[in-house]
Amino acid sequence: MILKSFIDPIVIPEVDVAAFLIDTIDQSPYWQDPQRPVYIDAKTGETVTIGELVSNATAIASGWQNVARLPRGAVVALLSPNDVHYAVALLSVTLAGGMATPVNPAFTVDELVHQLKDSGTTFIVADRDFLEIAGQAASKVGIAASNILALQPHRHSTSTKSLYDLRCDRPFRRLSLHRDEVHTTTAYLCYSSGTTGRSKGVETTHYNVVANACQVRTFNRLMTSVQDDRCWIGILPFYHIYGLHTLLHLNLVQGCPVVSMRKFDMLNFLESVPKYRINYAHLVPPIILWLLRHPAVKGHDLSSLVGITCGAAPLPLALAKEFGHRFSSIALTEGYGMTELSPVSHLAPRESRYINSIGVLIPNTEARFVDDNGRVLGYNQTGELCIRGPQVMKGYLNNPEATRATIDCKGFLHTGDVGHVNEDGYFFISDRKKELIKYKGFQVAPAELEALVITHPQVQDVAVIGMHDHEHVTEVPKAFVVSADPSSVRTEVEQRTLAADIVQFVNCRVANHKRLRGGVEFVSEIPRSATGKILRRVLRNREQTNAKR
């Protein structure tokens, strides 16, 4: 059984991302005034207007070609927290024919090195506070210091130029792709671990990006409270596909300025809502929990907020219900996305009858569920969710094997998420069969942590799984470890000491969201299949049984 969207298919323009965005802005009734702010910093009030966004991105694009000599298809890394200049940098790169790889600014040098190397980055645009770490990573991968540019306009040191110094009014060859090329040319390389292994470059084509912006805009206009010409809050990180799609593209398409926050700060959020008359927020489940539990919420006026979309991780039903009672004037709806889906496949309509559903299919999207033997399932039967549509990525960069394992010969992308669809066409996610752990919506690849833990001198074998942290509505990584010398970890004190040492060993080598918050448990062996694959399900079941006790 193949399920299709209720909404009639839409026509998707076969143009590149930059042309699509600039044409959309040109024709939008909401962006007629070039002085209208499009990005506003929540703390400082610094603003970038729509006119500045387009004119600076265009002048910088000319500089990319005429000054920096950026070759067509070259990769530029963006290393920055949310900043009002981020969209300028991103648009300039695509306009000049480059490929952008957004990087998590919380990364350690080694994590950064992995992405720079894997993506083949040649230039780095870094936030003023991240120039040093950019320099350290660049020197390890052979990127010249002169190829690091500061994101913000003013000069930061004598040695580092600003991206804005590239501005140039000489003619340049704007990226102009043929209809066929938009389907094959990569615009962005976000990183995701997919269903297994370490994080991989997801090749999101120009067509993928344009398609998803059009699909979601159509769905929003018909079915949700995400109206045009409203003010949105920019909490989601711009480097993550959820933030990238929503706060750097969809907002432009829907005529919505974004009040951007460099880092999530509950008080700043609560003050920004009435100050900027924020109407809409795209959030993740732990922030819904904060809104329910944080004592400061009561003293703030959230009356301008009419709706919230929540996603990137499961939203417990009880929490959604509690939110509905407490904030009855705010429509809370779920959506479902994945880096490999550019990112959206499902959104919940405004008047969804099913509170804990991820919603229905957006236009031009098909889905089916399959069991472990690849048998296609029917309504209300639980299996793996598979998606087909114009938003399905081209593949993983330089990894045809992983691509083949994810997108089947019929074009369906296997999400690794388990759930079902009911007869009304509403989808539900109940489990995850892939390895991925989600800490507050951020990806943690168990394979990456395992590769690190195994380098600890006292570890013989290891498996990492996600365990539920109900208090914080998230998952946290936990390591099961076989000690290299079991006789030295017999007592509880010995076990606690070594566990603390391993946790410390990992935590100082990884970004904050990957920390071993679930701790370490010693086991006599790691359950493995005949082919040596870790049987994570066995460990997860054991964990669940222990939690129930």
Distance (Å, whole) CA 502 – CA 533: 23
Least distance between ligand 4UW and beta carbon 424 (Å): 18
Burial environment of residue 1 by CB neighbours within 10 A (0 to 12, 13 to 18, 19 or more): exposed
Single-letter residue type at 369: F
Which residues bind to ligand 4UW, rule: CB under 6 A? Answer: 192, 241-242, 245-246, 309, 311-314, 334-339, 343-344, 358, 415-417, 429, 432, 438, 441, 443
Q: Compare residues 124 and 281 and give the one whose CB is closer to ligand 4UW.
A: 281
Q: Which is nearer to ligand 4UW, 513 or 515 (CB)?
A: 513
Q: Is 527 helix (H, G, I), strand (E, B) or coil?
A: coil
Q: How far is the CB of 115 from ligand 4UW (least distance, A)?
A: 15
Q: Which helix (H) or strand (E) holds 37?
A: strand 37-41
- In 318-352, which positions are buried (b, 16+ CB within 10 angstroms) versus exposed (e)? ebbeebeeebeebbbbbbbbbbbbbbbbbbbbeeb
CB of 359 to ligand 4UW, least distance (A): 8
Residue pair 235/244 in contact by the 8 Å Cβ criterion: no
Q: Which is nearer to ligand 4UW, 164 or 369 (CB)?
A: 369
Q: Minimum distance between the CB of residue 448 and ligand 4UW, rounded to whole angstroms?
A: 14
Closest approach of ligand 4UW to the CB of residue 456, in Å: 28
Nearer to ligand 4UW among residue 336 and residue 480 (C-beta): 336
For ligand 4UW, the closer CB: 60 or 362: 362
Encoded amino acid at 123, one letter: F
Nearer Cβ to ligand 4UW, position 59 or 189?
A: 189
Neighbouring-strand partners of residue 384: 370, 418
Nearest to 257 by CA among 240, 278, 232, 275: 232
DSSP state string for 68-137: S-PPTT-EEEEE-SS-TTHHHHHHHHHHTT-EEEEE-TT--HHHHHHHHHHHTEEEEEE-GGGHHHHHHH
Q: How far is the CB of 248 from ligand 4UW (least distance, A)?
A: 12
Cβ proximity to ligand 4UW: between 262 and 432 the closer is: 432
Write down the least CB distance from residue 455 to ligand 4UW, Å.
26
β-strands 474-483, 520-522 pairing: parallel
Helix, strand, coil percentages for the chain (3-state, nearest 5):
35, 25, 40
Least Å distance, CB 246 to ligand 4UW, is 6
Which of residues 95 and 231 has its CB atom nearest to ligand 4UW in the complex?
Answer: 231
Chain residue at closest Cβ approach to ligand 4UW: 311
Q: How many CB atoms lie within 10 A of CB 263?
A: 12
The two structure tokens encoding residue 24: 């959309």
Check residue 507 and report its DSSP letter: H
* Pick from 302, 306, 296: nearest CA to 275: 302
Shortest spacing between CB 62 and ligand 4UW, in angstroms: 32
Residues 6+ apart with CB under 8 A from 532: none
Q: Report the alpha-carbon distance of residue 19 to residue 210 in Å, rounded.
A: 10
Nearer to ligand 4UW, 5 or 246 (CB): 246
Nearer to ligand 4UW, 65 or 208 (CB): 208
Q: Least distance to ligand 4UW from the beta carbon of 339, Å?
A: 3
Question: Would you say 72 or 353 has its CB closer to ligand 4UW?
Answer: 353
**How far apart are CB 247 and ligand 4UW at their closest, in Å?**
10
Taking the complex as a whole, the smallest distance from the CB of residue 415 to ligand 4UW amounts, in Å, to: 5
Q: Do 70 and 62 contact (CB within 8 A), yes or no?
A: no
Q: Which residues neighbour 244 within 8 Å (Cβ) at sequence distance 6 or greater? A: 102, 188, 190, 238
- Distance CA(441)–CA(36), nearest Å, equals 32
What is the nearest approach in angstroms of ligand 4UW to the Cβ of residue 194?
A: 8
Q: Which is nearest to 339 in space by CA: 525, 523, 188?
A: 188
Q: How far is the CB of 384 from ligand 4UW (least distance, A)?
A: 11
Distances in Å between the alpha carbon of 263 and those of 209, 348, 355?
25, 27, 29
d(CA 23, CA 139): 39
Residue 219, helix vs strand vs coil: helix
CA separation, residue 75 to residues 99, 107, 177, 198, 266 (Å)? 5, 19, 17, 20, 35
